[in-house]
């Protein structure tokens, strides 16, 4: 089986990266992790990837005179490793329209809220302040505007009266670790396509996609 070569961009521990790596180790998973790239030398996820024999790249944004040179170096590192599809997994740098256009419809992100609600940071604090009863996470194709783009799937978790931002974050993160690999499997398996800024899912995968909307993926 020909597997889609995927690059993962991280800035820290890369827990979602680790979830993708573990899922991709299955023989029938239609993607392989070709490279893990970080913009920080202290990103612990690089150690995790290297220990599993995955190519790693450090492209420190501080070493470049501006975003164009930084992003050109990232693209060069990804291309050197044969990457054809990119997953953001806790990558804490805003990407330019030029980079996003280079990887259009081949670049996805996971965000810890049910978009379009709670874009940006401090999602769990804001959700608790508003008294919502469901929180969750969203995997979407990346567009130049922050936390905007065609939604592939979402997973919802209950918000408990006893929740703190940390306890809610933990519950959402558990859902993220299940949702992100499931979405990558759908995309790499050719079960999705972007049409008019919406994601169509192949009818053969509809049941699987429906299950992605719960924490029990």
pLDDT at 156: 97
pLDDT of residue 105: 98
Q: Catalytic residue at 177?
A: no
Question: How many other CB atoms are found less than 10 A from the CB of residue 81?
Answer: 18
Positions in the chain whose pLDDT score sits under 50: 215-217
Q: At what angle do helices 165-188 and 123-130 cross, to 10 degrees?
A: 120
What's the pLDDT at 1? 76
Q: What is the 3-state secondary structure (H, E, C) of the chain?
A: CCCEEEEEEECCCCHHHHHHHHHHCCCCCCEEEEEEEECCCCCCHHHHHHHCCCCEEECCHHHCCCHHHHHHHHHHHHHHCCCCEEEECCCCCCCCHHHHHHCCCCEEEEECCCCCCCCCCCHHHHHHHHCCCEEEEEEEECCCCCCCCCEEEEEEEECCCCCCHHHHHHHHHHHHHHHHHHHHHHHHCCCEEEECCEEEECHHHHHHHHHCCECCC
pLDDT reported for residue 214: 57
Q: Which of 61, 111, 122, 177 is catalytic?
A: 111
Cβ–Cβ under 8 Å, residues 108 and 143: no
Chain segment 101-155, per-residue pLDDT in tens: 999 999 999 999 999 999 999 999 999 999 999 999 999 999 999 999 999 999 9
Residue 98's pLDDT is: 98
Per-residue pLDDT at 216: 45
């Amino acid at each position: 089986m020909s597997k889609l070569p995927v690059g993962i961009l991280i800035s820290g521990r890369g827990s979602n990266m680790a979830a993708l790596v573990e899922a991709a180790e299955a023989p029938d998973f239609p993607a392989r992790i070709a490279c893990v790239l970080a913009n920080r030398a202290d990103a612990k996820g690089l150690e995790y990837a290297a220990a599993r024999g995955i190519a790693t790249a450090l492209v420190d944004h501080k070493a470049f005179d501006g975003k164009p040179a930084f992003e050109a170096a990232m693209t060069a590192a990804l291309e050197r490793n044969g990457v054809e599809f990119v997953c953001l997994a806790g990558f804490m740098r805003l990407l330019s329209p030029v980079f996003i256009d280079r990887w259009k419809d081949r670049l996805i992100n996971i965000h810890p809220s049910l978009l379009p609600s709670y874009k940006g940071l401090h999602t769990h604090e804001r959700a608790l302040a508003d008294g919502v009863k469901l929180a969750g996470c969203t995997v979407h194709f990346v567009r130049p505007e922050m936390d905007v783009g065609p939604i592939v799937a979402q997973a919802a978790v209950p918000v408990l009266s006893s929740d703190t931002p940390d306890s809610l974050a933990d519950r959402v993160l558990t859902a993220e670790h299940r949702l992100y690999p499931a979405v990558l499997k759908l995309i790499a398996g050719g079960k999705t396509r972007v049409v008019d800024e919406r994601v169509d899912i192949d009818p053969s995968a509809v049941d699987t996609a429906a299950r992605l909307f719960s924490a029990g993926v």
